[in-house]
Structure 1
Amino acid sequence: MFHGMPHLPSCPVNADVNIPCQRVDISEEIKVLDIFDDKELLKLAIGRQCMEQGKQYKTTRSNKGRFEVVCLVKNCSRMVRARGIQSTTAFQVTKVVDQHTCCATNLESNHRQSKKKVLDHFIAEVLAGDYNRVYQGNEIVRDINSKFPINISYQQTWCAKQYALLMLRGTKEDSFTKLLVYLHNLVKHNLETVTQIRVVDDDRFEFVFIALGCSVRASIKYCRPTLIYDGGHLKGEFKGTMLLVVTMDGQNQIMTVAYAICKSECTETWSWFLRKLRECIGNLEDLTIISDRAPSIATSNANIFPHAYHGICGIHSYFNISAKFGSSDTMHEYLQNINPERWARAHFPGNQYFLMTSNSAESINSMSQFARKMPILMLIEYFRATMEFSET
């Protein structure tokens, strides 16, 4: 289901190069003697200024040793010239005519300099602050057109958004590459955190398990002896499933205990996940477990937590029965064939703590619906950051 997890790359070694002047940020005004790391950064700086001024330029010369642009309007004096610094990729600005002598004020569609690498900086500022934000193309067009005296198209914003997401999140393959290092640091800086990756023979990713130490300690010491199971589908390029276990404290506050990412929900994946969970929390006395009626969960739970009281989610049961029987008289017979100890609170042998559904786990899944579209590393980090925020 998952493509191969790449090997960790070696750290690049960059040779030190003596540059005669300090580099500048692309958001600053371009001045003579400014130095940019390469021609692309110089183009970005010029493109940003063109957007702010509502002007456009055209390139008159571009090679390894020289770069020159002028205003798109004929006979306008606005121009920027730069030369390449020998033995480097850097370019130094040698001439700037900052004033436009043209009088063009009309907004033309598809602004030439509003390319994805220029718009990326503005879109990334919005997306970086809120991972759950669904920034639609029409919203971006409206925001950019209101912020700058330019007119851009929907296609330009769509390309820029995809590029901004790539710069913020990286590629899906890069995310798998960095997973081992991330988990190492997660364990190193979070006391008693447990993680494990399982791969198949050809080094293809299969499972990853994460249980933050703070969550495990809190669930044992301060929460009810209850576990609620659920699974959710990943929505990114690499399809899969996220397995989730949550618990609740005396004030019905929900806390994630552990989670895993795997290829699908089956007896093998649930057994592996619950076995790792038991290694973290041990065999709790009078443990109550709530889940849906998935056979894979029932089988795995019976093998891993044989002494726990296992109840089934009333909401799942209601919808399953309604879809199967409607108002049929055979519904009563069907319910009797299901052990009443699992679905009726009056017959439940343990303490169910008034938990009749797995809605608490469903709530966490709903909260993470946008995170499940992200690369695997950002999905794992989302849950870590959520727990860190909860503690504060």
Structure 2
Amino acid sequence: EDVPDLLSDAKDEEPFVGKLYATKQDCQIGLAIYAIKEQFYFRQTRTSRHSFVLSCHDVRCDWRILAKELTNCGYYTIKKAQLVHTCTIDTRNLYRKKATSKVIAHVYKSRYNEPINGPKSAQLQTMILEDLRVSASYMKCHRAKEQAVEDTVGNAEDSFLNLEDYFERLKATNPGTVTAIQTELDIEGNTRFLYGFLSFGASIQGFRKLRHVLIIDGTHLSGKYKGVLLTASGQDGNFQVFPLAFAVVDGETEDAWTWFLTKLERIIADSTNLTIISDRAAAIIKAKRTVFPMSHHGACIVHLMRNVVSRYKNKGLAKMVCEAAFSFRRRDFDANFAKIKQANGACALYLEGIGTAKWSRTYFKGERYNLLTSNTAEQLNNALKLSRPSPIIELFMFIQRMLTRWFSARRTKSAKCRGFVTTEVEKVMQTHIRLTKGSKIANITDWSYQIRGLFGHPNTVSLENKVCTCQVFQKLKIPCGHALLAADSIGLPYVNLFGDYYKTQTWRDTYAGVIYPEAPPGDLPIGDLPIGDLPIPEEVTTVTLLPPQTRRPSGRPKEGRIPSTGEIPVPKKKKLTQNKCGRCGQTGHNRTNCVVPI
């Protein structure tokens, strides 16, 4: 009760007798910042368990400070202070040494409440130069940022030690949640982290109501122990990202992808109705063949276009590939592919080698609906980019908080929807109606019709089988404009033409589950579950999980995302032009050297 409140606005003021600091480290850092701003250097001449003495670097100077712990409570106060310098200016140049990584980390934390979202190391260099008038190296600023993040979100090593306990507490609040940790033994016999997997029960229940299309991808982490975050997601009935599962692994290797897909196979059974979309990485293709041999694999058209640009240096060729991939009818695909052959025969052979059924909508053997790219996974990775430098538990906590917000917002949005289909599907339906406006209808049977457009192109639609010769109806599972006109002619409600996964009620059921934060240590959450002690399995409490063995790579740490092939734009070469003479208009000389008579 005798300890007064600490004044946050007095941190940078001149020290005085009686000034309080929260800890010994805060006292030392505060005095170091004061010395930097006043441009003098001091050294710690005497240190004990509960006090220390600071003196000026010049032994003839009278500047002294005695700081002492106050009544064994952890607070430090300045007991004595002689703040007048008698040394010369030329002896004070060592003050720059006080700008250590700890001091810079303190300045960094004081300016940004969430250091993990603060500026990069190069920008921190500029900030220190402006604030403290001190030049700091890039690596010193990088270590300072790491220290500030560690002080805020926790230690990376401790995060691995507490990971199994965190998973158990997370499963206690979220029934049906699936977690897994794969470990390995080092040469000394210690248990070290290798892989970690998480899929919330609410996500598993919701995914079973969606179209059976799974998009998988990986993004590199930038924390102390690096690694890769693997994601598996789908798309809900409103064309929004639906996250299903996450895993932290050592890299995008065949072993890592096989382990990840094995955990997914326990959630989603392998079948011919399942489609997996990803890039054409060899590790993914081999792992898919091992774990999901019955499912269909589709290549992302965006990655394929980037490969075409990288190989053949032709963006126009990539657009032709895109047009061929998005074609619904076989004749349209054949016409577009003929253009590719004519433009570049080597590119056509390259695409045929991949397999037309892998990347084209027309020849794909499974169901891709509107998903020809892995943009869904890219959007999910972009939403998680702020968590990439975090320790592993903080990473999973970020995922939990994000999914909690998404599920809550989409439950509210779906509850407000008054249509029989979702909002985005209704927009697609309106576009289909607009494109076929003014077409003529001819009856074939009770459920079959011929629709002739404004330009005389005929299409035959069967409402009973939900197919149309334009291929849009059966590929997207959304009625095309021809089917909607035919339904109008017989008074058939549009709702009978849609699949269940596009209907509003299915959209609501998809987000019926709730994702809760982890239970507090030792307790179960309030709600449907009883209150009491949380039993932690013995294998969790007895195993000491150490972080993976990694080595910091040489050079500057990479903080940005590694771009994929073809993602970096190739700069255009500038044409060299010669200046013309202002007198005669000829090139090769200027007005001063012109020899043409006036």
TM range (shorter): 0.7 to 0.9
Would you say 1:153 and 2:169 are equivalent positions?
Answer: no
Deviation at 1:290, TM superposition (A): 1.0
- The residue aligned with 2:587 is none
- The residue aligned with 1:275 is 262
Q: Distance in 1 between matches of 2:350 and 2:77?
A: 80
Contact residue 47 and residue 113 of structure 1 kept, 8 A: yes
Give the match's secondary structure for 1:280: coil
Q: Distance in 2 between matches of 1:182 and 1:60?
A: 42
- The residue aligned with 1:377 is 393
Would you say 1:188 and 2:172 are equivalent positions?
Answer: yes
Contact residue 270 and residue 293 of structure 2 kept, 8 A: no
Q: Distance in 2 between matches of 1:347 and 1:207?
A: 37
- The residue aligned with 1:81 is 66
Moved more, 119-128 or 316-325: 316-325
Contact residue 23 and residue 36 of structure 1 kept, 8 A: no
Pick from 289, 294, 304 the counterpart of residue 291 of structure 2. 304
Q: Distance in 2 between matches of 1:68 and 1:266?
A: 55
Q: Residue type of the partner of 2:108? A: I
Q: Distance in 1 between matches of 2:402 and 2:25?
A: 37
- TM-score w.r.t. length of structure 2: 0.51
Moved more, 314-323 or 190-199: 314-323
- The residue aligned with 2:356 is 340
Change (3 A) 1:95 1:281: same
Deviation at 1:361, TM superposition (A): 1.4
- TM-score w.r.t. length of structure 1: 0.73
Q: Distance in 2 between matches of 1:144 and 1:289?
A: 49
Q: For residues 208-238 of structure 1, give each alpha carbon's deviation from its aligned partner in whole angstroms, at most 9, with x where no partner exists.
A: 11112232233223x4332111123344443
Q: Distance in 2 between matches of 1:207 and 1:158?
A: 27
Change (3 A) 1:334 1:140: closer
Q: Residue type of the partner of 2:133? A: N
Change (3 A) 1:252 1:63: same
Q: How does 1:216-231 map to 2 (within 5 A)?
A: 216-221=204-209, 223-231=210-218
Q: How does 1:283-362 map to 2 (within 5 A)?
A: 286-320=273-307, 328-362=344-378
Q: Residue type of the partner of 1:351? A: E
- The residue aligned with 2:151 is 167
| Count of aligned pairs between the two proteins | 367
Deviation at 1:22, TM superposition (A): 3.5
Change (3 A) 1:111 1:283: same
Change (3 A) 1:355 1:188: same
Q: Residue type of the partner of 2:288? A: N
Where in structure 1 are there 5+ consecutive unaligned residues?
1-19
Pick from 206, 211, 220 the counterpart of residue 194 of structure 2. 206
Change (3 A) 1:335 1:119: closer
Q: Residue type of the partner of 1:44? A: I
Q: Residue type of the partner of 1:384? A: Q
Q: Distance in 1 between matches of 2:141 and 2:220?
A: 29
Q: For residues 84-128 of structure 1, give each alpha carbon's deviation from its aligned partner in whole angstroms, at most 9, with x where no partner exists.
A: 57989775543467x9799x99x9895575544344233124555
Q: For residues 334-360 of structure 1, give each alpha carbon's deviation from its aligned partner in whole angstroms, at most 9, with x where no partner exists.
A: 544544332221122333122111122
Deviation at 1:380, TM superposition (A): 2.9
- The residue aligned with 1:134 is 119
Moved more, 295-304 or 88-97: 88-97
Change (3 A) 1:83 1:351: closer
Moved more, 321-330 or 251-260: 321-330
Change (3 A) 1:211 1:125: farther
Where in structure 2 are there 5+ consecutive unaligned residues?
314-342, 410-598
Q: For residues 118-139 of structure 1, give each alpha carbon's deviation from its aligned partner in whole angstroms, at most 9, with x where no partner exists.
A: 44233124555263443344x4
Would you say 1:63 and 2:61 are equivalent positions?
Answer: no
- The residue aligned with 2:203 is 215
Would you say 1:257 and 2:244 are equivalent positions?
Answer: yes
Change (3 A) 1:366 1:85: closer
Q: For residues 302-353 of structure 1, give each alpha carbon's deviation from its aligned partner in whole angstroms, at most 9, with x where no partner exists.
A: 4433443322212333444565678652544454454433222112233312
Contact residue 23 and residue 34 of structure 1 kept, 8 A: no
Q: Residue type of the partner of 2:179? A: T
Give the match's secondary structure for 2:371: coil
- The residue aligned with 1:43 is 28
Q: Distance in 1 between matches of 2:166 and 2:392?
A: 11
Change (3 A) 1:21 1:86: closer
Change (3 A) 1:117 1:267: closer
Q: For residues 3-48 of structure 1, give each alpha carbon's deviation from its aligned partner in whole angstroms, at most 9, with x where no partner exists.
A: xxxxxxxxxxxxxxxxx95386584577766666764343234445
- The residue aligned with 2:225 is 238
Q: Residue type of the partner of 1:207? A: Y
> CA-atom RMSD, angstroms?
4.3
Q: For residues 231-259 of structure 1, give each alpha carbon's deviation from its aligned partner in whole angstroms, at most 9, with x where no partner exists.
A: 23344443433322111123321132112
Would you say 1:124 and 2:109 are equivalent positions?
Answer: yes
Give the match's secondary structure for 2:233: strand
Change (3 A) 1:24 1:40: farther
Q: For residues 174-219 of structure 1, give each alpha carbon's deviation from its aligned partner in whole angstroms, at most 9, with x where no partner exists.
A: 3322322222232233332211101124423221111122322332
- The residue aligned with 1:176 is 160
Change (3 A) 1:23 1:195: farther
Q: Distance in 2 between matches of 1:168 and 1:136?
A: 17
* Structure with max Cα Rg: 2
Deviation at 1:74, TM superposition (A): 12
Change (3 A) 1:44 1:235: closer
